[in-house]
Structures are given as structure tokens and as C-alpha cells.
Amino acid sequence: MTEAQILLLLAVRLRSRAAADDIEETFITLGGEASRFESLLADAESLDQVRVRGEELRRSLTGAGEAELAAHLGAETERVGRADLVTAYEAFLPLNRAFLAALSTSASPSEVAVAEVASLVVRLGPVLAALEEKLDRFAGYAARFAAAVSRAATDPRWVAGASIDSIHTIWFELHEHLLATLGRDRSQESTLQ
């Protein structure tokens, strides 16, 4: 598989059950070329790595797509240094707990204090830098967080809005990206926190 094909499968996993436009945004953020997206997606669908569901044409990985992605990410993780990636992940976990606590303490996610969430994004900076140093595909998160924090300063929907590239949306995607990279799932994570 080419790097572009792997990025496509990763984008589908990170934005599972999303429309093609949302998956394309993530694909580009991960370093994929926009001009290749449609053909790569069509190829993955024809190879039964990506399935299309419902009238809204939402995509998700098939078992074959999950296995292909996991095999590639596992080999890549070993090649670049699993220990360093695990260290970054372990530094992420307490920030993730604080982030989730900040979202759960308000009556609604849009009422979360922007300053509190922005502070957590700042504290996330070294984790993002460590990840980017190992894998280029983590490079887009810092800019996305900066844009969302800036927008949240005047519009609280950018803290946890579901249909926009909000801080929460980006955080969730980063979390999934870490889990996929390390070959873990959320059930394994509860023992680490």
C-alpha cells in the first residue's frame, strides 16, 4: 500500500461514519493530496476496505480496511520508535482527563470556559510537537487547535460544536489518531488512566 492509501484509510477511521467531504478534510490535514482523494476513496471502496452506508453516504472501514490500516500503523510505529509515541500518549492522558472534566462541569459544552480549554490546548503543545517529530501526519493539529481556540474566543460553539472543526472535534480526532497509531482501543485505555 502507498502512503496515500494509508492516509485515506486513517482519515476514514478518524472520521468514521462521516460524509466524504469531512473525510477529505481530515485526509488533507494528515498530509494527503486533495487531487488524489476521490480516486483513492473509490479504490478503497472497490477493494472492500471502505463501506458506504445510508442515504447520507457515510463511510467507515470494513474489517479488511481495519486490518490493513492496523498492520501498516503497527509497522510504522515500530520503525519510528514505539517508546517515544507511548510517552507522548501517556502525557496526553492526564490532559484528556482534564479536558473531559472541563466539558462535563458545565450545563452544556458550549458554556465551558474558553480560557480553561484554551489552557489545556497550550499544555498539549509539547505532546503535539513530540508526535510531529516522529510522524509528519500529526503536524496539522496545532494549527487546527489555534484556529478553533481563536474562534471560540468570540463564539463558544467552537469549544464543543459537533458539526464544525471545534476544539472538541479536533481533540477527539487526535485521541483516535493516537489510539490507532498505537493499536489500542478505548477499553484498554481505562486501565492506564
Query: Grid coordinates in use for 105?
Result: 462541569
Amino acid, single-letter form, for residue 138: F
Mean pLDDT of all residues in 146-166: 91
Q: Other C-beta atoms within 10 Å of 98: how many? A: 15
- Determine which of 34-43, 107-116, 120-129, 171-180 has the lowest per-residue pLDDT on average: 107-116
pLDDT at 89: 96
List beta partners, residue 168: none
pLDDT at 163: 83
Residue 86 CB partners (closer than 8 Å, separation 6+): 182
pLDDT of residue 190 exceeding 70, the answer is no
pLDDT at 106: 61
Residue 26 CB partners (closer than 8 Å, separation 6+): 11, 14, 15, 173
Residue 74 Cα distances to 2, 67, 101, 115, angstroms: 15, 10, 31, 37
Number of alpha carbons in the 13 Å side-chain half-sphere of residue 118: 14
What pTM does this model have? 0.90
Kindly indicate the confidence band of residue 191, based on its pLDDT and cuts at 50, 70 and 90. very low
List beta partners, residue 50: 61
Contact 179, 157 (CB under 8 A): no
pLDDT at 112: 65
Per residue in 89-136, pLDDT (tens digit) is 999 999 999 999 888 876 555 556 788 899 999 999 999 999 999 999
